[in-house]
């Protein structure tokens, strides 16, 4: 009986004792990566000269803005093409009204001495380095005086290209 009692006491002690579990864990580490690519966006406001009077004593000047946003630290250049006017060049662009054209130019400065184009033929581009924020460049336009062309609405489309 003593053996039975001892077995009973041991069994009761085991039941009364909290279960001790053996837990195990394993860990690892891993890398999180990304490759940031250089990116730029460009937009522009229209260059609207308004009414042109060929007999005026001064050229018709106005301006617009090319806005560039590039990744921080990304160098870039902004070029303007010759436009779509018939016979246009980067030095002398042409707005069209049917078969008629009206010459104009675009410059990098208010003094209108350096033609803003693609860097060929004595023209210049605008250069900058991205900072993650919008950077604005003013396009200074000029229609020379004395162009006695057919009355009407003239237009052209110029493309601004950012190379980065």
pLDDT interval class at 18 (50, 70, 90) = low
pLDDT interval class at 32 (50, 70, 90) = very high
CA 106 to the chain's CA centroid: 21
Give every CB contact of residue 115 below 8 A, 6+ residues apart in sequence.
90, 91, 105, 106, 107, 108, 122, 123, 124
CATH of domain 40-50+58-149+159-163: 2.60.40.1090
Enumerate the domain spans of the chain: 40-50+58-149+159-163
pLDDT at 21: 76
DSSP state of 87: T
Averaged pLDDT score across all residues of the chain: 92
**pLDDT digit string (tens) for 123-163?**
999 999 999 999 999 999 999 999 999 999 999 999 999 99
What is the C-alpha separation between 122 and 163, in angstroms, rounded?
19
Cα–Cα distances (Å) from 79 to 16, 46, 57, 116, 132, in that order, read 86, 16, 31, 7, 20
**pLDDT digit string (tens) for 39-94?**
999 999 999 999 999 999 999 999 999 999 999 999 999 999 999 999 999 999 99
What is the C-alpha separation between 77 and 126, in angstroms, rounded?
5
In the three-class reduction of DSSP (H, G, I as helix; E, B as strand; rest coil), residue 154 is classed as coil
pLDDT at 3: 53
């Amino acid at each position: 009986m003593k053996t039975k009692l001892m077995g009973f006491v041991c069994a009761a002690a085991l039941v009364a004792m909290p279960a001790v579990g053996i837990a195990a864990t394993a860990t690892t580490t891993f890398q999180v990566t990304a490759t940031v690519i250089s990116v730029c966006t460009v937009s522009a406001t229209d260059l609207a000269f308004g009414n042109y009077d060929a007999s005026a004593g001064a050229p018709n000047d106005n301006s617009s803005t090319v806005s560039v946003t590039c990744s921080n630290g990304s160098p870039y250049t902004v070029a303007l093409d010759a436009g779509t006017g018939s016979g246009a060049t980067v030095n002398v662009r042409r707005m069209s009204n049917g078969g008629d054209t009206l010459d104009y130019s675009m410059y990098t400065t208010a003094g209108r001495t350096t033609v803003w184009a693609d860097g060929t033929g004595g023209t210049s581009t605008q250069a900058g380095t991205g900072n993650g924020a919008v950077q604005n460049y003013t396009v200074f336009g000029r229609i020379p005086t004395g162009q006695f062309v057919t009355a009407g609405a003239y237009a052209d489309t110029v493309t601004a290209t950012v190379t980065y």
